[in-house]
Amino acid sequence: MSGIPYLTLVTFLPILGMIIVLLIKSEKIQLIRITAAIVTFLQIVIAALMWSKFNFSAAGINDQSSFQFVEKVRWIEIKNLADWIGTVKIDYFLGVDGLSMPMVLLTALISFLGVLASWNISKGIKGYFALYLLLDTGMMGSFVALDFFLFYVFWELMLLPMYFLIGIWGGPRKEYAAIKFFIYTLFGSVFMLLVMLGLYFSTYEILPDGSKVYTFNMLQMMNPVNYSKEGLLSPFNPNNLRFIAYIFLFIGFAIKVPMFPFHTWLPDAHVEAPTPISVILAGILLKLGTYGMMRISFPIFPEITNQLAYWIAVFGMINIVYGALCAMAQKDFKSLIAYSSISHMGYVLLGMASLTTQGMMGALFQMFNHGTITAMLFMIVGVIYDRAHTRGVNDFGGLALQMPVYTGITTVAFFASLGLPGLSGFISEAFVFLGAFSNETIRILAIISTLGILLTAAYMLWTMQRIYFGKLNPRWENLPDVNKLELAALSPLAVVVILFGIYPSPMLNLMNTSVNKLVEIVVNGQVTFSNLSALIK
Amino acid sequence: MTTYDLIFYLFALIILVSAFIVVAARNIIYSAFSLLFTFFGVAGIYVLLNADFIAVVQVIIYVGGILVLIIFGVMLTNKITEVEIKTESFQVLPSIIISGIIGGTLVAIFTKTNWKVAEPQILDKTVTEIGRFLVSHYMILFELAGIILLVALIGSVMIARKEKLETEEVEK
Amino acid sequence: MTVGLNHFLALSAVLFSLGIYAVLTRKNAIQVLMGIELILNSANINFIAFAHYGNFGLTGQVISLFVIILAAAEAAIALAIVLNIYKQYSTVNVDEIDGLKE
Amino acid sequence: MNENILIQLSILNIILPLFGFVLLIFFGKRLPKSHLFEISTIFVGLVSSSIVSFFKLNYFEDKLIVFDFRWIDFGNVPFFGNLGINIGIQLDNVSVIMQLTVFIVSFVVHLFSIKYMEGDPRYSRYFAYLGLFTFSMLGIVLTHNFLMMYIFWELVGLSSYLLIGFWFEKKSASDAAKKAFIVNRIGDVGFFLGILILYANYHTFTFSEIFGQIAQGNLPFNSGAWLTAAGILIFCGAIGKSAQFPLHVWLPDAMEGPTPVSALIHAATMVAAGVYLVARIFVMLTADAMLVIASIGAITAFISATIAITQTDIKRVLAYSTVSQLGYMIMSLGVGSYFFAFLHLITHAFFKAGLFLGSGSVIHAMHHEQDIRFMGGLRKKLPITYYTFLIYTLAIAGIPFTSGFLSKDGILGGTLAFAKLTGYWFFPVVGFFVAMLTAFYMFRLVILTFHGEARDIHKFEHAHESPATMLIPLISLAVLSVFIFFSPNPFNIEAGWFYKWIETPKTIVPQELAFSFMINESNTSHNIIHSELYTETLHHSHSTAMILSLIMAGLGILFAFVIYQWRLISADKLSIKLQPLYNFSYNKWYFDELYSKTAVAFTLGLSNFLAWFDQKVIDGIVNGTATITRWTSFSSGKFDNRVVDGLVNWTAYVTGFFGMVFRKFQTGKVQTYLVMVLTGIIILFFIFKSL
């Protein structure tokens, strides 16, 4: 490790911001907001710097030397006190590769825009921004952590601020939504914790002096050589529980995605959460589920991933079609967008399950695009809700006459969401289908999933028509168009959406080396993890 | 049985009995006073473990500081004029089980584990050494501790005072 | 049976569970605090015992020193809070302060 | 003049309208005359595309000029090596002619719109959308790969959506826009799946590479059935965009958009893109696929022609006639007569755009009255519009000396030859019958609109001839509808340059999958496309077709005059006599009703059901679990109270312990929570102790 610790900076800058915010008197509202904005903006600057220094040909995934900006310091070490504990050793191990770099950029971008969208939060501003910045650290940390324990710590770190942000600043049924979110995700993390400990007690790391210690290092877990002979989750153990562990871990992540049938917390949480929190939730938090699968489940359990890919794709398909159909029936603008999120995350699942480069790349890019597009959609809902204090889709009409700029931006977001070519959503969806269709076993699922394209177009345009077209409802004659602040929050996203729709290579080149490596690991993993006899010497 | 052992058992007995009273006494004043004995006992144990400086610190801070604070707290929050200052317990049964299991397991682990014990060394100049440690190896922690104490001092004053100010405002 | 590391550890374990018991059962906040002090003391005994027998030099003692410092800070703040609660609710019985229920 | 310059000019042509679009979207309101800028970009494009066509057709006649670059790189894909996606453009004779056509029509429509749209509050927005459309259409025309084709395919869909819904205050307009987009999407999904089949096998989108692979006998998934499927699925895109049965329902509704838009998008260019697409994939169509395509085309031509004869809205008549003519072209491709389909595409683009602009002129004059029952006698008021309109009508009816005669005659000849060789007599029969219907309803339209007495005196009084910027487009398109631009001999297209340029490509489908009269590329080295038998049959059918089609057209015109001009048979009485047929036709064969009662109702019902299911059942299970947990804890608490007093054994202890914990699950007391936490720790400890 040398030079500037970019990842530590980018991860803990918000914590620093939180401390500053806490030191500011709660009456100085403007100062608090500006501090939060500056901190998150600095985050973007650092992320952009990292992007510019990123080595596009380094793969990462299971090889520490090709990770970038790696920081590895012994964090917790307990010496060999007793036989059964052994030495406990946990690293502060951060690094990025092509899988996490896009997510880091996304997190930085959305966090900053989320601050702008939070400008008109009116109660408890100090607490709000403090929690918001804490949440930011949790998210960023989860994306850059390479030690499972550290990952888990960041993962849990997100829960608490989210709970309060929904529970205090939310809508009428905020307590219900917050508790539901909290218990649901906690339920998922318990599963994850079990698998984490199971893996810990099955993997050895060999120290330079030749002694073996258990390890939380994800990269070590990806290599079958490091497993102990009798560990519960060790492939060498004929009675291992890897299959069950995979399902547990998958459920843990699937709740976050959220995957059918674990998705019901999402509409509630979205509808009750304040706009910027919905933006964060949909824009970043959901990605953690699929990111976790790609970063942890797939390379650590490649043989089971191959076995279950079909079922992941089935759930992806259900998410796509089911989410779209449910969205069509919603009367509340926000829950409509929430269900559309479910539908769009289905593409990510489908793409991952194809186990092809195109599909995975599509999935990863869809994660990024869904982050930007849905963030935009929720901000759009926020704009209208701030003005009209209602979100009923049928309550509006003719807003295109009253708010032309707003309608223009909405058009971009809606069409991006329904996958119009030239906007970023299309590229990722197309890739997902390219991948899924190339895989013979899930080809039929890909064909059924194309229904999603159709249904998305149908409900998006229907919504568009009901809210923006037609005669202006006289009730809304005095609604002002978007103000400068809202425009500042929305237009960067619109630019990103259009830019990556026309020329996605800057983002795709970031990913392709890593994605290819991941595909190779997963597909070959079936062989390496099944023919273990060769490894035992 | 050496004298050392004897002294250990003595202190252990003091600690356990007084701690039990702390825990079980219904009258809070009794608890507070038996806590005094517990602290003394622990200080004794420290001495046995060749930690004379810590023992002294224990007596000064715990007995002189914390305990006095606690007794103040008791007196400020209970109407001392009422003769019976009794407190109640609840969820006794599960707590007994839990603490029993925890204690039992801990004892079991401690005794069953094969600790890699080294021959105890007797150090003479513990105070000097600790002092040196504090300003060299643990300097940041040491300063942090100072800051924490300062913050705690100010913080507790603030917490206690703020309420008063507000009530005054209300009265006005 | 000569007194060794195990004895100290056992002592601290028992003290610890007594502390836990106090924390769990007492209704009076101050007694809960006392329980916490007991737990801290048991931890300290552990530290020093290991330092003594485990050949770690003085590190254990220094750590326990910090624990004592923390305990002092914690006691001060906790009592301040208790006083505050007393003003607010006119009671220090923990079971009556159940604002978390909502 | 070398190839690079042609490529650069073509790229410029694509970019220019986009530039106009961007400028107008952002600054349209602030710069009052900015639409002129957009029009000038189109004009520059027109000039430069003429240059491109001239040089391409005269100097690089047989050359395929390609320019591409790597757009997306997949890197070193495991098991496949280096993959990526190339995009780029190709210039062949077909694409440069299409490019020129698009610019001509686009330019005259722009010109026409200046006055037509004057005073609209979103004037600049209108021109911006036109620019976007022109850009996307050029993308379709010039692309050399399927992906870009699909991308621009959807983008023309977007501009069509925006322009149909241009007057979105009207519910009917926004409904029509939505319908157009969604119906098109249905076709596009098929198109996309077709592309996926090809990509999954060949890992490329480029036409030439895919066709090269097929020509080497490398079939998708090693089966001819998949090749047929790919062909039909890609054709689905054309079904949507070219409004073929059963997805034709959107086009008549699309007439809600401004009339010049109907001329540009829904008559001349965008809807013809489907035909263009089928022409592009013509070489890979198997016999089965071609039969499907021909059938769809014939059915469409027939259905829409029968609907057109009873419609009363001037634009709807034209819309159904467009659908019918598109069906002709599709049918023509299906029967293997590639050249005539393309010829008809070009000729139809000019005269149909003219018809729409002419109707626009009428509507403009009549103050936005579109119902032909309230028109009549406009010949005197709008002479120039009338005569140009008449020329277009003659062209569409297939009267000699017009361009329409050349192309339509060829198509009918093609179907005849096809029927003779394969025995499918269905196609020529439908073809000739539709030719008659076309002549009939077009002349009905002309007579009702321009001849006779004025039926709405008030509006008639105020009608006046349109200004010059609207007449120039009409006249120029009328000139372009004359035979001379396509062939010096009005009765034989083979004498013309067009025939020389547009060469039917040789099929690449393995011989056993293709029609016997098509010759596979691998079979012969020289330039023969069809078997000799076919060429001969076509030659024979030609004269037969010419005579027959003239008779049919004459009959149609005669009927129209008999019924509407001379009123020898009363139209009203006729409609009463044929009441069921009349209603069936007037209500467009009840397609809209059928769809809204089945597909739409089913989808909406399903979505409502699933939303209910989601909220009540799935979420119900979640909430139910919570309730059950609470209930269990409550009842076990009760149970505990009763039993624990009596039993002092270990079981009771545990029950009591759990009962206590559960009952106080949410007491709000920190200490209870602590009890639970510690219990958890203990349990976890004992679970992991064994590890």
How many CB atoms neighbour CB A523 within 10 A?
16
Tell me the pLDDT tens digit for each residue of C24-41.
Answer: 888 788 888 888 889 999
The residue ranges of DSSP E strands in B21-117, in sequence order, are none
Tell me the pLDDT tens digit for each residue of D336-393.
Answer: 888 889 999 999 999 999 999 999 888 888 888 888 888 878 888 888 888 999 999 9
Q: Give the DSSP H/E element, type plus range, for residue D70.
A: strand D65-77
Distance between CA B135 and CA B155 in Å, rounded? 26
Question: Strand A68-78 relative to strand D65-77: parallel, antiparallel, unpaired?
Answer: unpaired
Provide the β-strand partners of residue A88. Answer: A78
Angle at D11 (CA atoms; ends D8, D14), nearest 5 degrees: 155
CATH (domain of B75): 1.20.120.1200
Distance between CA A173 and CA C61 in Å, rounded? 52
φ, ψ of residue A43 in degrees (nearest 5)? -60, -45
Q: How confident is the model at residue D418 (pLDDT cuts 50, 70, 90)?
A: confident
Please check whether residue B116 lies inside any domain of the structure: no
**How does DSSP classify residue D518?**
B
Residue D196 tokens, joined: 């996926």
CB spacing of B114 vs A81 below 8 angstroms: no
Q: Which residue has the tokens 């904005």?
A: A37
The answer to whether A72 and A154 have CB atoms below 8 angstroms apart is: no
Rounded to the nearest 10°, the torsion over CA D537, D538, D541, D546 is: -170
Q: Which residue has the tokens 């390219």?
A: A434
Provide the β-strand partners of residue A213. Answer: A205
The answer to whether A192 and A152 have CB atoms below 8 angstroms apart is: yes
**What pLDDT score does A537 carry?**
43
Distance between CA A294 and CA A289 in Å, rounded? 9
Which positions in chain D touch B101 (Cβ < 8 Å)? 682
Tell me the pLDDT tens digit for each residue of A424-441.
Answer: 989 999 999 999 998 888
Tell me the pLDDT tens digit for each residue of A359-370.
Answer: 999 999 999 999
How many CB atoms neighbour CB D467 within 10 A?
14
Residues of B in CB contact (< 8 Å) with D are 90-91, 93-95, 97-98, 101-102, 105
Interface test with B, best of D657, D670, D684 (most B CBs within 10 A): D657
φ, ψ of residue D520 in degrees (nearest 5)? -70, 145
Please check whether residue B10 lies inside any domain of the structure: yes
- pLDDT for residue A244 is more than 50: yes
Q: D375: closest CA among D267, D449, D286, D279?
A: D449
Q: Which residue of B has its CA nearest to D674?
A: B95
Tell me the pLDDT tens digit for each residue of A15-72.
Answer: 999 999 988 888 888 899 999 999 999 999 999 999 988 888 888 777 788 888 888 8
Q: Which residue of B has its CA nearest to A82?
A: B115
Percentage, residues of chain A above pLDDT 70 = 95
CA-to-CA dists, residue B145 to A16, B151, D224, angstroms: 20, 10, 80
Q: D345: closest CA among D409, D404, D281, D258?
A: D404
CA-to-CA dists, residue D79 to A61, A288, A440, B83, D269, angstroms: 18, 29, 15, 87, 43
Distance between CA A289 and CA A254 in Å, rounded? 6
C66 close to B (CB below 8 A): yes
Angle at A159 (CA atoms; ends A154, A161), nearest 5 degrees: 100
**How does DSSP classify residue D91?**
E
How many CB atoms neighbour CB A172 within 10 A?
9
**What pLDDT score does B83 carry?**
46
Distance between CA A68 and CA D486 in Å, rounded? 64
Report the gap between the CA of C95 and the closest CA in chain D (Å).
Answer: 6
Distance between CA D41 and CA D32 in Å, rounded? 17
The contacts of residue A173 (CB under 8 Å, 6+ apart) are A268, A271, A272
Report the gap between the CA of C11 and the closest CA in chain B (Å).
Answer: 7
Domain extent, residue B131, equals: 3-110+121-171
- pLDDT for residue D275 is more than 80: yes
Please check whether residue B115 lies inside any domain of the structure: no
Report the gap between the CA of A207 and the closest CA in chain B (Å).
Answer: 21
CB spacing of D668 vs C98 below 8 angstroms: yes
Angle at D283 (CA atoms; ends D280, D288), nearest 5 degrees: 110
Report the gap between the CA of A81 and the closest CA in chain B (Å).
Answer: 6
Residue D50 tokens, joined: 């003429």
CB spacing of B113 vs A84 below 8 angstroms: yes
| Dihedral angle sign, alpha carbons of residues D553, D558, D564, D565 | positive
Mean pLDDT value of segment D198-212: 89
CA-to-CA dists, residue A509 to A58, A367, A456, A516, A523, angstroms: 11, 15, 28, 11, 21
Residue D347 tokens, joined: 């000729």
Q: D262: closest CA among D235, D237, D234, D243?
A: D243
Helix, strand, coil tally for chain A in percent (to 5): 70, 5, 20
CB spacing of C76 vs B74 below 8 angstroms: no
**What pLDDT score does D665 carry?**
57
Which positions in chain C touch D678 (Cβ < 8 Å)? 20, 24
Residue B6 tokens, joined: 């004897």
| Dihedral angle sign, alpha carbons of residues D197, D203, D204, D208 | negative
Distance between CA A326 and CA A339 in Å, rounded? 7
- pLDDT for residue D570 is more than 50: yes
Which residue type sits at C62? Answer: V
CB spacing of C32 vs D671 below 8 angstroms: yes
Report the gap between the CA of D668 and the closest CA in chain C (Å).
Answer: 4
CB spacing of A83 vs B113 below 8 angstroms: yes
- pLDDT for residue A78 is more than 70: no
Closest partner CB to C23 (pick from D666, D667, D674): D674
Give burial (CB, 10 Å; 0-12/13-18/19+) of A158: buried
Total domains present in chain B = 1
Per-residue pLDDT of chain C (102 residues; tens, 9 = 90+): 577 888 888 899 999 999 988 888 887 888 888 888 899 999 999 888 888 887 677 888 888 888 888 888 888 888 888 887 777 777 767 666 655 544
Mean pLDDT value of segment A475-489: 85
Q: C48: closest CA among C35, C57, C39?
A: C57
Which positions in chain C touch D681 (Cβ < 8 Å)? none
Mean pLDDT value of segment B2-19: 88
Tell me the pLDDT tens digit for each residue of A252-288.
Answer: 899 888 888 888 888 888 888 888 999 999 889 999 9
- The architecture of the domain spanning C5-90 is Orthogonal Bundle (1.10)
Q: Please state the separation of Cα B125 from the chain's center in Å.
A: 25
Distance between CA A352 and CA A294 in Å, rounded? 8
Closest partner CB to D688 (pick from A184, A197, A415): A197
**What pLDDT score does A69 carry?**
87
- pLDDT for residue A167 is more than 90: no
User: How many inter-chain contacts (A to B, CB under 8 Å) are there?
Assistant: 11
Residue D247 tokens, joined: 């997805």
| Domain locations along chain C | 5-90
Angle between helices B126-135 and B139-171 (to 10 degrees): 80
Asked if omega into A161 is within 30° of 0 (cis), the reply is: no
Interface test with A, best of D151, D191, D608, D681 (most A CBs within 10 A): D151
- pLDDT for residue B62 is more than 80: yes
Angle at A178 (CA atoms; ends A173, A183), nearest 5 degrees: 135
The answer to whether A332 and A378 have CB atoms below 8 angstroms apart is: no
Closest partner CB to D671 (pick from B91, B101, B102): B91
Mean pLDDT value of segment A414-430: 90
- pLDDT for residue D523 is more than 70: no
Closest partner CB to B149 (pick from C35, C72, C92): C72
Report the gap between the CA of A32 and the closest CA in chain D (Å).
Answer: 33
CB spacing of D668 vs C100 below 8 angstroms: yes
Q: How confident is the model at residue A373 (pLDDT cuts 50, 70, 90)?
A: very high
CB spacing of D678 vs B102 below 8 angstroms: yes
Interface test with B, best of D641, D661, D669, D682 (most B CBs within 10 A): D682
CB spacing of D670 vs C99 below 8 angstroms: no
What pTM value is reported for the model?
A: 0.79
Q: D68: closest CA among D89, D50, D53, D83?
A: D89
Report the gap between the CA of A90 and the closest CA in chain D (Å).
Answer: 19
Q: What is the predicted ipTM?
A: 0.69
3-state secondary structure of D368: coil
Residue with the larger pLDDT of the pair A507 and D485: A507
Residues of D in CB contact (< 8 Å) with B are 653, 656-657, 660-661, 664, 671-672, 675, 678-679, 682, 685
The answer to whether B52 and C57 have CB atoms below 8 angstroms apart is: no
Q: Give the DSSP H/E element, type plus range, for residue A74.
A: strand A68-78
**What pLDDT score does B172 carry?**
44
Distance between CA D368 and CA D259 in Å, rounded? 10
Q: Give the DSSP H/E element, type plus range, for residue A38.
A: helix A29-53
By residue count, chain D amounts to 691
